[in-house]
């Protein structure tokens, strides 16, 4: 077999391999997307939960402060009843009034915190539903990936073995070029020469449609052990059946 024929056989195996792997790759990508979305939801949940606990702690501190104000107010009322002169009475009364204002301020702050906790609870409830839905999708994506891996396992092993055997027929420098192009073009390494106009000897690359000079076509068909790359897309050229027939004819 010629070098180009060996490359074509390797090319066909490479395409089948990548087609199989793409099924797993797409499932892996989908799972990765679902995982990131789940992490984002969980991070938001953790952030809200932290804010809730902070507001609850603040509300608890305010309640403690309110209790202290009530105790101090009750004590002052006793002092107010026991005041021995007008000056002492008014001094205690002013402090009681100040404590009333402080108590009202603390009550208002407490209400704000408790309302905030209630609002966060609502958000957490909605977020819990989203997380549950995302977990269902994530579990399905995990199962799908495992299924696809299992489905192609046997075929993938056979094709890997076949690829190794086909690659053994290719010179090392050509193999390096093939692998580089395969990585660059997702396995689409080879491009056929298509006949455009037989009378005018017009040919083109069937991948990028770039016009191919007749001397390039002659080299590809006349030197099947030589690597010729398309000037447009850089893929390795081979003569399609209609191009070969046109030249023979």
Report pLDDT digits (tens) over 136-169: 999 999 999 999 999 898 999 999 999 999 999 9
pLDDT of residue 246: 61
**What global pTM score does this model have?**
0.68
Phi first, then psi: give them for residue 140, nearest 5 degrees: -65, -40
Residue 52 pLDDT > 90: yes
- Closest listed residue to residue 125, CA positions, set 210, 49, 211, 21: 49
Sorted by sequence, the CB contacts under 8 Å of residue 55 that are 6+ apart come out as 113, 116, 117, 120
Torsion, CA 59, CA 63, CA 65, CA 69, rounded to 10: 150
CA–CA separation, 31 vs 228, rounded Å? Answer: 41
Confidence class for position 247, pLDDT limits 50, 70, 90: low
pLDDT of residue 171: 95
CA–CA separation, 76 vs 83, rounded Å? Answer: 10
Tokens of 169: 């027929």
Confidence class for position 89, pLDDT limits 50, 70, 90: confident
What average pLDDT does the chain have? 92
pLDDT of residue 7: 95
Fold for the domain defined by 3-167: Helix Hairpins (1.10.287)
Report pLDDT digits (tens) over 213-243: 989 998 998 888 999 999 999 999 998 776 6
Question: What are the domain boundaries of the chain?
Answer: 3-167, 189-248
pLDDT of residue 249: 52
pLDDT of residue 197: 85
pLDDT of residue 101: 95
- Closest listed residue to residue 210, CA positions, set 189, 196, 226, 224: 196
Residue 180 pLDDT > 70: yes
Q: Quick one: average pLDDT of 81-99?
A: 88
Residue 248 pLDDT > 60: no
């Amino acid at each position: 077999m010629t070098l180009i024929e060996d490359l074509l056989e390797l090319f066909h195996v490479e395409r089948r391999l990548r087609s199989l792997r793409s099924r797993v790759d797409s499932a892996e990508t989908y799972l990765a997307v679902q995982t990131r979305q789940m992490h984002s939801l969980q991070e938001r949940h953790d952030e809200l939960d932290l804010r809730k606990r902070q507001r609850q702690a603040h509300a608890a501190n305010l309640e403690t402060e309110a209790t202290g104000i009530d105790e101090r107010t009750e004590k002052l009322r006793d002092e107010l009843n026991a005041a021995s002169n007008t000056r002492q009475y008014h001094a205690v009364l002013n402090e009681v009034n100040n404590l009333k204002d402080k108590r009202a301020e603390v009550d208002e702050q407490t209400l704000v915190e408790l309302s905030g906790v209630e609002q966060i609870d609502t958000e957490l409830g909605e977020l819990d539903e989203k997380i549950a839905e995302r977990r269902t999708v994530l579990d399905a994506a995990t199962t799908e990936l495992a299924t696809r891996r299992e489905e192609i396992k046997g075929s993938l092993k056979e094709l890997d073995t076949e690829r190794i055997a086909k690659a053994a027929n290719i010179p090392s420098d050509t193999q390096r070029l093939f692998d580089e192009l395969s990585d660059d073009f997702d396995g689409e390494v080879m491009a056929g020469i298509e006949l455009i106009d037989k009378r005018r000897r017009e040919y083109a690359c069937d991948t990028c449609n770039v016009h191919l000079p007749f001397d390039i076509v002659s080299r590809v068909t006349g030197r099947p052990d030589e690597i010729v790359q398309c000037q447009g897309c850089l893929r390795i050229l081979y003569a399609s059946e209609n191009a070969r027939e046109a030249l023979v004819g």
